[in-house]
Each structure stands twice: as C-alpha cells, then as structure tokens.
C-alpha cells in the first residue's frame, strides 16, 4: 500500500493548481454573483487539458485516470468553492466517459472531441417533478418512428447547464433518460439518449427551459426543461434500447466519486478560511484559536477531512481498477459502493464544516462580503439532491452490505 501520489500525479496537481490560481481563484466570487461562467473560461480549461481528462486521446482527451480527474476536481473546487466551475468540470469528467463507453462510433466522434476542445458541454437530464430518487418511474417518453428515429416528449424538473449549452460555440445537450415502453415495467423500459439542444452553432427545435433561482453554484443554471416533439436520430441512442437504466447508474457512480473530490476541495478551502480567521480574530483579549471549545472542533474536522479525502480517492481508484485496468475481482458494485460512500461523506463534511465556519466568523458571516456562505450552500446541493440525495447514498451502501433482498 502506498499513500503517495505518483510523480505524474504530483506534477499534474501542480499544473492544475497553477491554472486554477490564475484563472479561477481571482474570479469565482464574481462568477457566482453574476451567475455566468464565461465560455472563454471553459475554452481555457479545455486548452489546459481539463475537459477530457478521462477520454482517450483518439477523441481529443488526455487518456488520464479517474484518480487524476479527482485530483483536478479537488483543485478546481478549492480555487472556486462556489462549485459551479467544479460542477461543470465533474459532469464532463464522468458522463462523456459513459457516452464513450456505450455510444456508437459516429456519436462518439461527433461529440467527444468537441467537449474536450471546450466547444460543447453535456449534462445529465433525469429528474422529473414526481420524484428524482426513483429514476425507474420516469415518464418523459421517447417513441420510435417508422424511419427508425425517435421523438422525445416530456419535462425534466431539474436539469443543469441549459444556459451554458446555449452559449457554447458548437453546442451540446444532455445524457437523457427516457421511457421507451410500458411504465409499469419500470427500469426495464428505460433508454438513454444524447439529446442535443444546440448543434453546429444552431438551436434545435422543441427544447425550452426555465431556470430556477439558485442559492449557490450560480455560475450555471439548473432549469425545468421541456422537450416537445424533439426528433433524435438513431445514432443518439446510448447503449441498447430498454437497457438504459444500468448504464445511467454507471454514470451516476462515476460522477459521485468526482463529487467526493470536489467536496473535499470545497472543505479544504473552508478549513483554510477557518484557520486564518481563528488565529487572527481576538475576543476577550485572546485569539479564537486559543479557546479549546473551538480548536478541538477544528481538530475533529481536520481528522474528518483527511478521512473524506482518502475515501474520495479510493472511490476514484476503484473506478480506475474497474474501467481502465479491468482488474479481476473489482465489480461495478464496488464502483457504486465507493462512489456512494465518497459522496455521502464528503458532501456532508463540507456542509457541517461550512456551518461551523459560519458560526466562527460570527456576524461577519452573514454578509455577502464574506463568501463562506457560497461554499457552504454549494456543498449543500450535494446533500439534498444533485446526483442523488443523501438517503439514496445510504440505500446503495446498505444494499451492498446487507443484500438486495433486505434493502429495497
Ligand atoms: C442544484 C441541483 C442541481 C441538480 N441538477 C440536476 C441535473 O442536472 N439533472 C438531473 O436529472 N437532476 C438534477 N438535480 C436533481 C437531483 O438529482 C434530485 O434532487 C435528486 O435525485 C433527488 O430527487 P428529488 O429532489 O425529487 O427528491 P425526492 O426523490 O422527492 O426525495 C426527497 C427526500 O426523500 C429521501 N428519500 C427518497 N427516497 C427514499 C427512500 N427510499 N428511503 C429514504 N429516504 C428517501 C431523499 O433522500 C430526499 O431527502 C439537481 C438538484 C439540485 C439541488
């Protein structure tokens, strides 16, 4: 067992960190306040090799590992703890890999090099108004026409990225989970599509959206998105017809391991804010750091942060072992289990730590001039819902430990 990163990983972290210090750290508050990640920043990320980390070089990617993708996720979140840039990044580090794994060749060559080049982005469109956790109950339909193409109709209630897709030079869209048969058959009649809202610089007909007003991670929008008779060619089916549920779960598993690393980056930033403040701020003639009621709590958080960090890297390492090294004895269940544990642990830690850091800052934390609330609320998105709510992570973990027959 070796807890040291390899030389390549160390160099990679230094390079990403240098990029983030120049391009993200000075502007993350402004991005969050204005509610827009500029396309130029996305292009800069692509030029720095950050938008195709896990994609093979043949598709313009870096041919890197999920561990490297997690390293970059941690650094991006540390430099931009309101997380919108990190969220954009982690979605590109996970869902395009699934398109690469299960999409046809024509589709792969159309979209993946454009993502890696910063000309297109894709997101995930799954959640519907009647409940996001139960994906097997989705109603958004895809019906096959006589010529083999598909027509999509329905509404997704929380889909991130539409306004970003709209501004990308080439375009992009979503990995969309749709119903392609009898809803009573639940996960057995679900098919995955890549549905583009913009292609070749032009908006596709039939897709409209209305953004929610978000508390944090405001550089990108999460919207209600409608699909009205949207025509999709057969090449945009990802994987087999009616076999989309399991494939989609693979995407969520990968995304969750990245979310772990991103939340660790966010928590590291919160920790640094706390350390600096507790040393500097004097009350009753002494620095806050000298009160054990506070310093002991900080010590506990330091321990938890290290544990969370190890967990997040183990989740990424599991993905490497399953997808890249194809090791015997590592299964998809392992990737699911470690991804769920990483997301549950790391997002929860960032939120708990954020709440205490807010309290340690006293009244100052209540004003926008102190940006801690942005990091705290951004991490909260991963506790309440984004890419699976907390209890769903517990469900996955319990299922793996106790057995499916005991945990529904
Ligand atoms: C900022 C943000 C961005 C998002 N972006 C996207 C996106 O890009 N694409 C997308 O598809 N979705 C997106 N979502 C939606 C997200 O995936 C859902 O919020 C999530 O899946 C939970 O669904 P829900 O909100 O409908 O909650 P529900 O499914 O209604 O769950 C409500 C509560 O019940 C709990 N619960 C559910 N089932 C069980 C159970 N069996 N046992 C115990 N407790 C249970 C949950 O943990 C949760 O606390 C986003 C959400 C947020 C907040």
Specify whether 103 is located in the same domain as 152.
no
Q: Whose CA is nearest to atom 44 of ligand 1?
A: 391
Instruction: Check residue 188 and report its DSSP letter.
Output: G
Distance of CA 165 to the CA centre of its chain: 16
Last residue of a domain, one of 186, 218, 242: 242
Q: Is residue 206 part of a domain?
A: yes
Structural contact between residues 59 and 107, judged by C-beta atoms closer than 8 angstroms = no
Specify whether 377 is located in the same domain as 278.
yes
**Helix (H, G, I), strand (E, B), or coil: what is residue 24?**
coil
Structural contact between residues 225 and 304, judged by C-beta atoms closer than 8 angstroms = no
What is the per-residue pLDDT across 81-110, written as a single tens digit (0 to 9) for each?
999 999 999 999 999 999 999 999 999 999
Q: Whose CA is nearest to atom 29 of ligand 1?
A: 133
pLDDT band at 1 (very low <50, low <70, confident <90, very high): confident
Q: Which of 87, 88, 128, 133 gets mutated to test ligand 1 (max ligand atoms within 8 A of its CB)?
A: 133
pTM recorded for the entire structure = 0.97
Q: Given a cut of 90, is residue 239 above it in pLDDT? A: yes
Give the structural domain span for 78: 7-116
Domain CATH code at residue 308: 1.20.140.10
Ligand 1 centre to CA of 379 (Å) is 14
Q: Which of 127, 135, 192 gets mutated to test ligand 1 (max ligand atoms within 8 A of its CB)?
A: 127
Last residue of a domain, one of 215, 242, 269: 242
Q: Is residue 408 part of a domain?
A: no
Ligand 1 centre to CA of 156 (Å) is 12
- Alpha-carbon distance 11 to 84, whole Å? 25
Specify whether 260 is located in the same domain as 272.
yes
Ligand 1 centre to CA of 202 (Å) is 32
> Following CA atoms 353, 359, 361, 364 in sequence, which dihedral angle do they give, to the nearest 10 degrees?
130
Specify whether 254 is located in the same domain as 222.
no
The pLDDT assigned to 408 comes to: 76
- Alpha-carbon distance 121 to 55, whole Å? 14
Domain CATH code at residue 62: 1.10.540.10
pLDDT band at 305 (very low <50, low <70, confident <90, very high): very high
CA nearest 91: which of 156, 174, 20? 174
Specify whether 255 is located in the same domain as 390.
yes
Specify whether 234 is located in the same domain as 274.
no
Write out the H or E segment, with its range, that includes residue 222.
strand 222-232
Specify whether 252 is located in the same domain as 398.
yes
Q: Ligand 1 site: residues with CB under 6 angstroms?
A: 123-127, 131-133, 158-160, 222, 381, 384-392, 395
The pLDDT assigned to 2 comes to: 87
Q: Is residue 252 part of a domain?
A: yes
Structural contact between residues 16 and 50, judged by C-beta atoms closer than 8 angstroms = yes
Q: Is residue 373 part of a domain?
A: yes
Q: Given a cut of 90, is residue 324 above it in pLDDT? A: yes
Q: Whose CA is nearest to atom 1 of ligand 1?
A: 381
The pLDDT assigned to 136 comes to: 94
- What ranges make up the beta strands (E) of 80-221? 120-125, 141-144, 150-160, 171-179, 190-199, 202-203, 207-211
Ligand 1 atom showing the smallest separation from residue 126 Cα:
11
Specify whether 22 is located in the same domain as 161.
no
The pLDDT assigned to 313 comes to: 97
CA distances (Å), origin 337, targets 45, 70, 74, 135, 220: 30, 17, 20, 18, 29
* Total domains present in the chain: 3
Write out the H or E segment, with its range, that includes residue 380.
helix 372-384
Burial of residue 158 (number of CB atoms within 10 Å: 0-12, 13-18, 19+): middle
What is the per-residue pLDDT across 9-49, written as a single tens digit (0 to 9) for each?
999 999 999 999 999 999 999 999 999 999 999 999 999 99
Ligand 1 atom showing the smallest separation from residue 133 Cα:
29
Ligand 1 centre to CA of 33 (Å) is 25
Q: Whose CA is nearest to atom 43 of ligand 1?
A: 391
Ligand 1 centre to CA of 383 (Å) is 9
Q: Which of 35, 90, 124, 132 gets mutated to test ligand 1 (max ligand atoms within 8 A of its CB)?
A: 132
Q: Is residue 2 part of a domain?
A: no
Specify whether 112 is located in the same domain as 126.
no
DSSP notation for 229-266: EEEE-GGGEESSTT-HHHHHHHHHHHHHHHHHHHHHHH
Specify whether 174 is located in the same domain as 290.
no
Evaluated on CA atoms 153, 158, 163, 169, the torsion sign reads negative
Q: Is residue 407 part of a domain?
A: no
Ligand 1 atom showing the smallest separation from residue 177 Cα:
11
Last residue of a domain, one of 116, 141, 162: 116
Specify whether 51 is located in the same domain as 84.
yes
Specify whether 184 is located in the same domain as 251.
no
Domain CATH code at residue 128: 2.40.110.10
Q: Which of 2-6, 17-21, 95-99, 185-189 has the lowest mean pLDDT?
A: 2-6
The pLDDT assigned to 407 comes to: 87
Q: Is residue 1 part of a domain?
A: no
Ligand 1 centre to CA of 127 (Å) is 7
What is the per-residue pLDDT across 109-164, written as a single tens digit (0 to 9) for each?
999 999 999 999 999 999 999 988 999 999 999 999 999 999 999 999 999 999 99
Q: Is residue 152 part of a domain?
A: yes
């Amino acid at each position: 067992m070796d807890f040291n990163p390899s030389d390549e990983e160390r160099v990679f972290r230094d390079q990403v960190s240098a990029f983030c210090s120049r391009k993200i750290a000075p502007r993350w508050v402004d991005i969050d306040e204005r509610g827009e990640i500029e396309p130029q920043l996305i292009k800069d990320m692509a030029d720095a090799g950050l938008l195709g980390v896990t994609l093979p070089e043949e598709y313009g990617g870096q041919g890197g590992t999920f561990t490297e993708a997690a390293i970059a996720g941690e650094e991006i979140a540390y430099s931009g703890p309101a997380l919108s840039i990190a969220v954009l990044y982690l979605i590109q580090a996970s869902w395009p890999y699934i398109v690469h794994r299960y999409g046809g060749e024509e589709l792969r060559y159309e979209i993946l090099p454009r993502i890696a080049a910063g000309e297109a982005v894709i997101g995930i469109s799954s959640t519907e108004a009647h409940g996001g956790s139960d994906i097997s109950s989705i109603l958004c339909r895809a019906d096959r026409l006589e010529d083999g193409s598909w027509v999509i109709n329905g509404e997704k209630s929380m889909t991130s990225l539409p306004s970003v897709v709209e501004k990308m030079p080439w375009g992009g869209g979503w990995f969309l989970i749709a119903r392609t048969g009898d809803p009573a058959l639940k996960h057995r009649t679900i098919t995955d599509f890549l549905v583009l809202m913009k292609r070749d610089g032009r908006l596709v007909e039939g897709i409209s959206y209305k953004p929610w007003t978000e508390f944090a991670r405001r550089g990108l929008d999460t919207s209600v998105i409608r699909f009205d008779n949207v025509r999709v060619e057969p090449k945009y089916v990802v994987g087999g017809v009616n076999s989309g549920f399991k494939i989609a779960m693979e995407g969520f598993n990968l995304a969750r391991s990245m979310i772990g690393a991103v939340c660790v980056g966010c928590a590291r930033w919160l920790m640094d804010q706390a350390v600096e403040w507790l040393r500097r701020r004097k009350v009753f003639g002494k620095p806050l750091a000298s009160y054990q009621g506070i310093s002991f709590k900080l010590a506990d958080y330091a321990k938890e942060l290290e544990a969370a960090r190890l967990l997040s890297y183990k989740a990424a390492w599991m993905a490497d072992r399953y997808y890249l090294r194809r090791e015997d004895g590592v299964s998809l269940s392992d990737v699911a289990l470690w991804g769920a544990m990483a997301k549950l642990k790391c997002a929860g830690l960032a939120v708990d730590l954020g709440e205490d850091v807010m309290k340690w800052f006293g009244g100052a934390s209540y004003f926008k001039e102190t940006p801690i609330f942005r990091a705290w609320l951004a991490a909260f998105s991963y506790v309440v819902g984004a890419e699976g709510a907390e209890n769903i992570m517990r469900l996955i973990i319990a299922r793996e430990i106790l057995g499916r027959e005991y945990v529904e």
